[in-house]
Structure 1
Amino acid sequence: MKPSLVHCFKLLLLLALGGVTMHVPDADVLSSLGALRLDGHFSFHDVSAMARDFGNRCSLLPAAVLHSGSVSDIAATVKHVFLMGERSPLTIAARGHGHSLMGQSQAAGGIIVKMESLQGERTKVHDDGTSPFVDAPGGELWINVLRETLKYGLAPKSWTDYLHLTVGGTLSNAGVSGQAFRHGPQVSNVHQLEIVTGRGDVLTCSPEENSDLFYAALGGLGQFGIITRAKIALEPAPKMVRWIRVLYSDFASFTEDQEKLIMAENTFDYIEGFVIINRTGILNNWRTSFKPQDPVQASHFQSDGRVLYCLELTMNFNTDEADIMEQVSQLFSLCIKILTCDLTDVTYVEFLDRVHTSEVKLRAQGLWEVPHPWLNLLVPRSTIHKFAKEVFGKILKDSNNGPILLYPVNRSKWDKRTSVVIPDEEIFYLVGFLSSAPALSGHGSVEHAMNLNNQIVEFCEEADIGMKQYLAPYTTQQQWKAHFGARWETFERRKHTYDPLAILAPGQRIFPKASLPLSL
């Protein structure tokens, strides 16, 4: 790279960081990257796309992008940076589908590893008749994993609501959806990982081999290594899904039914909940991808300005099986105080990929690539009613720009050896405020959404709700220490073991590189 281009990078980085001074690699450092013998290649010019993510609120320009052609490319790059020593300004961030919310997959002045560009890495299904699994590249999208496993009549046990995310990306966080009450999050369904550590070593790890790294990397926010492959548990896949929506006006009944259903021995296959805040009195469509067979009750239901609660359930079945309505009716006998109910039958793939259906529509309207000031919380069961009374009764006073998720999961299904931090109660709730901000000012702006988010977090802290943030956007190490609590010492020890120079995942803002500021 020419020196003049380096000066351009410095200027752009200063603008992106609001005037924060930081070191930028000089021409010699960048030339040394270009001299590496790789199956793929580096790019140093068209890097602006790697400075954006789904959150669309943070833009940090990298100095280079690695279009990796193999795992050895990633290992060689990390080792090269590691051998430069602590004086080198370079950091490295693995980027999957770029679905982070606040620059977590970005690396200001560093290297972005474009995980989806891996070539020659294939998803492989192994079925021995007893414990089938899929061996998938870390940069593969879950939707593609599903398509491959369905060829064998199999599917992963646990999902996220959105399948156009990479395997390594979700396993570095947790991976939560409506199946978590039964199977746990995605990190609880992994047999083995291949990881490139912050030293550039390629290690295979599992509960039996390099177990400390295995559990560190699962939910480890990319701090200990880059997940390049994962072996994931499978189960027989159904053909069809009976998709049900049940409406409530009473929060106590809504949560009581959810808790009964997740604890029942025979229950639904997927259980999630939504909060509907609509003071206009007209209940809009619950979600555009849900098309009930008999669209009569819910679409015309008048909310009368109330906060309503929607329980979303599915029952898997195959077309050659007997009608499942009797099973559904038996399970509904557990529920109380239902206002209305709608159902529809869709294929298993249509249900799992339902958010992508909405994405296509939003993209057509120019409403997908807008800021997403999301707030995701894990709230203990013991304080969920106190939380709801304040948040849904007082802080949120009008219809929201995006879904509000609220559903319980079982702590016993989460492997406590992973790096994921959750409340210390057997039942806790995932509460997700999935806001979009299409406007520059007013109700639909980032400022408005962030003000509400801040009010919610401040209330939780003042009222001692005991919540933990998921996909946390913390910017100081002190905040992260508070987040991990008693587990911080283990987290920090693992960092010093597997990434001692703090090269990896700088966008999480947990461990600063010696030559970089901690808070950006």
Structure 2
Amino acid sequence: MGTSPLLKLLVITLLAGIKTRSSDPAALRSTSLLSIPLHGQFTFDDISKAATDFGNRVHHVPSAVLHPGSVADVAATTRRVFQLGPNSKLTIAARGRGHSLHGQAQAPDGIVVRMESLRRAQTMWVHTGQEPYVDAPGGELWIDLLRETLKQGLAPKSWTDYLHLTVGGTLSNAGISGQAFRHGPQISNVRQLEVVTGKGDIMNCSAEANADLYHAVLGGLGQFGIITRARIELEPAPKMVKWMRVLYSDFRSFTEDQEMLVSAENTFDYIEGFVIINRSGILRNWGSSFSTQFPAQASQFVSEGKTLFCLEMAKNFDPTNPEKMKQEMVELLSRLRYIPYTLFKTEVSYLEFLDRLHSSERKLRSKGLWEVPRPWLNLLVPRSSVHFFADNVFGKIITDTSNGPILLYPMNRSNWDNRTSAVIPNEDVFYLVAFLSSTPASSGQNSFEAVLKQNEKILKLCESANIQTKQYLPHYTKLEEWRDHFGSRWEAFQRRKQDYDPLAILAPGHRIFHKAMA
């Protein structure tokens, strides 16, 4: 609910009186915030939603939520908190759709900035020249950005699997999906950023101008600045997608085929894999989603008790030339060693393919299974260790995948810029291994605790075997763990924090740096 000018003036007057008679921190905070001239507004009462996120495990209530009406609002608020200095406990967290897993977009007793409010204050525009790009607000959703660029026959090159996330949110991490093997993560496809630093400065940056800030912010976990605008590279958008899934029973064949595909010049446009452990009816379930005849052999296929590996692929094509696509598909599939009768395929529009997970979200929401605890664990595993990892995790630590999918697919290091803040294994090829468990209330608290124990066992295995994994969407509770995560790049990360957010105001939910108090 908004605050009328008269009421706002009354509150400021009353709180100003409190300020002279009391040192109550809440009163001092409110006085300072309400005196900031804004195009948008603060709310102090309806703030419970800002204390929740997608992980549904951490709940820190802020003191206020800023609904910015302009980038200047974000800058003015951050500048005021910076000016308050170490005498104030206030911190600031930018929140998009709240898809953090461990409270990273929360600000305990601080200020949460609703980045989606900027979508109404900023325009998105598509440049259709020789090197096309889109300029988008940091709070813009990727799905809406896609719809806008498709009007011009264009689209970004790299994606996440789920598009109902904000631009600034994914660029603060990396943004990966099945296109990353070819185009790199989303942070490798950004030309320019507008950023509000921890000092409250609005700065434009790119690889040519203010390059250190530009590289710091990309994959920087929100530690150095709030992304308020991004210029993203575009390419001609495909019209249709041939979407396929096949099964393997042999892990070595599965990974060798994946690695062959991600290194080939003529290959698929999207390549992902996932692990299926002790699940029944897998092929029949796919039959409802893929327009295919259900082979007699597939009807007799029994998956219970087995560990299987699914390769998911997509090939973009022009529907005006279907024969060319068919020839390419025959040639590509002939290279693979999957179980022959497990090929499932369908054709969908490019938009339908990229937004494929949204229908699953709607189904889960209708059943009350969307806003549940998600004890996810996302690891980047070096190629040299992935077989040892699989041998000791799949079927041993993890004995079924009923709690959620396990993704496993390779990426090429050459498409990542080591000047950014994102940290990846030091090998030419590495794998994302994502354990995407969910534990609804119906599964009981024991199920939640069991998943946490499984995650801990996996991490201990990596530590004891000296597997040089890196967490994606990292979460640590100790400074030593963060130092280990960044390794030789820790000093640069720390120096950048001092340069752009010296009071450690921004993104306190990561618990990397803590605001020093006078």
TM bin (shorter chain): over 0.9
The whole-number CA distance in structure 2 between the counterparts of 1:79 and 1:197 is 9
Q: Does 1:221 align with 2:221?
A: yes
2:337 counterpart residue number: 336
Q: Which amino acid letter does the alignment assign opposite residue 243 of structure 1?
A: W
1:154 counterpart residue number: 154
Question: CA offsets per residue over residues 386-410 of structure 1, 9 Å max, x none?
Answer: 0000000311113331110000000
1:437 counterpart residue number: 439
SS state of the match for residue 395, structure 2?
Answer: helix
Q: Is the 8 A contact 2:287 2:294 kept in 1?
A: no
The alpha-carbon deviation at position 319 of structure 1 amounts to: 1.6
SS state of the match for residue 394, structure 1?
Answer: coil
The alpha-carbon deviation at position 322 of structure 1 amounts to: 2.9
The whole-number CA distance in structure 2 between the counterparts of 1:441 and 1:234 is 43
The whole-number CA distance in structure 2 between the counterparts of 1:298 and 1:221 is 45
1:144 counterpart residue number: 144
1:260 counterpart residue number: 260
Q: Which amino acid letter does the alignment assign opposite residue 209 of structure 1?
A: A
The whole-number CA distance in structure 1 between the counterparts of 2:498 and 2:447 is 40
The alpha-carbon deviation at position 285 of structure 1 amounts to: 5.7
Q: Is the 8 A contact 2:287 2:344 kept in 1?
A: no
Q: Does 1:123 align with 2:124?
A: yes
SS state of the match for residue 57, structure 1?
Answer: coil
The within-5 A match list for 1:87-486 is 87-118=87-118, 119-128=120-129, 130-278=130-278, 281-283=280-282, 290-296=289-295, 301-323=301-323, 324-339=325-340, 340-439=342-441, 445-486=447-488
Q: Is the 8 A contact 2:246 2:338 kept in 1?
A: no
Structure 1 pair 326–269 and aligned structure 2 pair: CA distance change class (3 A) = same
The whole-number CA distance in structure 1 between the counterparts of 2:337 and 2:363 is 35
SS state of the match for residue 400, structure 1?
Answer: coil
Q: Which amino acid letter does the alignment assign opposite residue 488 of structure 1?
A: W
Q: Which amino acid letter does the alignment assign opposite residue 460 of structure 2?
A: E
SS state of the match for residue 174, structure 2?
Answer: coil
The whole-number CA distance in structure 2 between the counterparts of 1:418 and 1:295 is 47
SS state of the match for residue 90, structure 1?
Answer: coil
SS state of the match for residue 393, structure 1?
Answer: coil
Structure 1 pair 209–181 and aligned structure 2 pair: CA distance change class (3 A) = same
The alpha-carbon deviation at position 111 of structure 1 amounts to: 0.0
Q: Percent same amino acid at aligned positions? A: 62
Alpha-carbon RMSD across the aligned residues, in angstroms, is: 2.0
The alpha-carbon deviation at position 333 of structure 1 amounts to: 2.0
The alpha-carbon deviation at position 34 of structure 1 amounts to: 1.2
The whole-number CA distance in structure 2 between the counterparts of 1:446 and 1:394 is 18
Structure 1 pair 288–502 and aligned structure 2 pair: CA distance change class (3 A) = farther
Q: Is the 8 A contact 1:41 1:66 kept in 2?
A: yes
The whole-number CA distance in structure 2 between the counterparts of 1:60 and 1:286 is 39
1:17 counterpart residue number: none
- Identify the structure with the greater helix proportion: 2
Question: CA offsets per residue over residues 210-267 of structure 1, 9 Å max, x none?
Answer: 0000000000000000000000010111111100001101100000000000011100
The aligned length equals 496
Q: Which amino acid letter does the alignment assign opposite residue 396 of structure 1?
A: I
Structure 1 pair 24–149 and aligned structure 2 pair: CA distance change class (3 A) = farther
Gaps of 5+ in 2: 1-7, 16-22
The whole-number CA distance in structure 1 between the counterparts of 2:419 and 2:247 is 37
The alpha-carbon deviation at position 127 of structure 1 amounts to: 1.3
Q: Is the 8 A contact 1:289 1:354 kept in 2?
A: no
The whole-number CA distance in structure 2 between the counterparts of 1:289 and 1:309 is 20
SS state of the match for residue 396, structure 2?
Answer: helix
Q: Is the 8 A contact 1:25 1:90 kept in 2?
A: no
The alpha-carbon deviation at position 515 of structure 1 amounts to: 3.7
Segment drifting more, 74-83 vs 475-484: 475-484
The alpha-carbon deviation at position 290 of structure 1 amounts to: 3.4
SS state of the match for residue 175, structure 1?
Answer: coil
The whole-number CA distance in structure 2 between the counterparts of 1:454 and 1:361 is 31
Structure 1 pair 453–493 and aligned structure 2 pair: CA distance change class (3 A) = same
